[in-house]
Amino acid sequence: MQLFDVYPLYDIEIVRGLGSKVWDKDGQEYLDFYGGHAVISIGHTHPHYVERLTGQLQKIGFYSNSVKIGLQHELAEKLGKLSGHDDYQLFMCNSGAEANENALKLASFHTGRKKVVAMHGSFHGRTSLAVAATDNPNITAPVNRTENVVFVTLNDEQELENLFAKEGGEIAAVILEGIQGVGGIRIASDDYLRKIRTLCDKYGAVYVADGVQCGCGRTGKYYSHDWAGVNADIYTMAKGIGNGFPIGAISIAPHIAPKYGMLGTTFGGNHLACAAALAVAEVMTEDRLVENAARTGEYLMTELRKLPNIREVRGKGLMIGVELNQESAPFRKRLLFDEHIFVGSSSDKNTFRLLPALNIGREHCDRLLTALHRQLA
């Protein structure tokens, strides 16, 4: 059998990782400023993570959600504290798309309504409702297209107000990333997030904060939406919370009540997944990685802005977009093959993304800056 050929691949096979470095099968070392799409939060093969996972595997890896799983409660408590939302409720699933799918479904159950407001430039995943709320017709199959999703322009408060004035009684949810990742690191303004809160309160809609990429402490707050100083009703999570183990989750405000059977999953919240997420939460708390992301990100962005031939540096903490005066794809290739540094693409053709582990060292940042200077000068 052959692989279903959907990914354009670099001719590199990564076989080992440690911290913010990875190695290919020929022993070539690379610096990882991408973390495989913002997934690696505490570094590759972190010793506490490896120990937690192997220890759990030796006890039990999986049992279904038909029995009590104490590790889920332990995780809910730790994530509640870490995120500053310990009165919220946790539901676990397996990916970012699934987290958004469940969040929107829950919003619809809760309100009894069908309409979802999403942003131009958004990416929420590839399952049916998540992809319908994603602004990319190339990945939306005919079966996913629905008039229930309305797209508006990020940060246009007037447009959102007009939409609510017209259709507010039908809107179940507003979903947005605090910082659009795939869309090229576009930041939702604090005023816009506050406006969403106000309108959702006024019209009884649910504010869904997609924190799949911009959450887990990456921007210097646990959820990047926190910068606006207002709460969302549902936060979605994945990527960084598992550091590579496939985990998704939603954190749900106390006023949204559960009902048996309304959400469910076979694998979500299994023992091994909980052990991985617990290891991440423990390292993040112990090593103060949210603060570290803010500090290191500040340093990186200040230094990046001094480099030549850069149009703009956007971001917060360790979620950074660098917009070049040139197309970024060939530039990223040079960084990878000449400098041995991974960075990420975005749907903005001149912008590449930096999404490293939250404990990446200054020496690695300096190595990146030197390489960028060499390639840009």
**Piece of the chain touching ligand PLP by CB under 6 A; list 71-79, 121-129, 166-174, 325-333:** 121-129
Q: How many residues comprise the chain?
A: 377
Q: Closer to ligand PLP by CB, 248 or 371: give it.
A: 248
Category of 17 on φ-ψ map: left (φ > 0), alpha (ψ -120 to 50) or beta: beta
Residues 17-76 that bind ligand PLP (CB under 6 A): 37
Single-letter residue type at 42: I
Question: Phi, psi at residue 289, to the nearest 5°?
Answer: -75, -25
How far apart are the C-alpha atoms of 148 and 128, rounded to whole Å? 12
- Binding of ligand PLP at residue 182 (CB under 6 A)? yes
Q: Closer to ligand PLP by CB, 238 or 304: give it.
A: 238
Q: Closer to ligand PLP by CB, 218 or 364: give it.
A: 218
| Binder of ligand PLP out of 71, 238, 294, 324 (CB under 6 A) | 238
- Binding of ligand PLP at residue 220 (CB under 6 A)? no
Q: Closer to ligand PLP by CB, 115 or 239: give it.
A: 239
| Binder of ligand PLP out of 56, 72, 83, 95 (CB under 6 A) | 95
- Binding of ligand PLP at residue 125 (CB under 6 A)? yes
Least Å from the CB of residue 79 to ligand PLP = 17
How far apart are the C-alpha atoms of 155 and 192, rounded to whole Å? 5
- Residue pair 263/106 in contact by the 8 Å Cβ criterion: yes
How far apart are the C-alpha atoms of 333 and 314, rounded to whole Å? 21
377: part of which helix (H) or strand (E)? none
| Binder of ligand PLP out of 35, 121, 178, 181 (CB under 6 A) | 181
Query: Which residues make beta-bridge pairs with 323?
Result: 312, 351
Residues 190-219 that bind ligand PLP (CB under 6 A): 210, 212-213
Nearest residue to ligand PLP, by Cβ distance, number only: 96
Residue where the block lists tokens 């010793």: 47
- Binding of ligand PLP at residue 121 (CB under 6 A)? no
- Binding of ligand PLP at residue 97 (CB under 6 A)? yes
**Piece of the chain touching ligand PLP by CB under 6 A; list 62-70, 122-130, 306-314, 338-346:** 122-130
How far apart are the C-alpha atoms of 167 and 128, rounded to whole Å? 23
**Piece of the chain touching ligand PLP by CB under 6 A; list 21-29, 83-91, 174-182, 324-332:** 174-182
Least Å from the CB of residue 228 to ligand PLP = 17
Least Å from the CB of residue 251 to ligand PLP = 15
Which among 60, 66, 30 is positioned nearest to 268, based on CA atoms? 66
| Binder of ligand PLP out of 32, 101, 135, 177 (CB under 6 A) | 177
- Residue pair 183/128 in contact by the 8 Å Cβ criterion: no
| Binder of ligand PLP out of 44, 78, 124, 314 (CB under 6 A) | 124
Q: Edge to edge, what strands does the sheet with 234-237 contain?
A: 89-93, 248-252, 234-237, 206-210, 171-177, 115-119, 149-152
Q: Edge to edge, what strands does the sheet with 21-24 contain?
A: 14-18, 21-24, 29-32, 341-342
**Piece of the chain touching ligand PLP by CB under 6 A; list 82-90, 118-126, 256-264, 338-346:** 118-126
The tokens describing 196, both together, are 């969403």
Residue where the block lists tokens 């919220």: 88
Residues engaged in binding ligand PLP (CB under 6 A)? 37, 95-97, 100, 123-125, 177, 181-182, 210, 212-213, 238
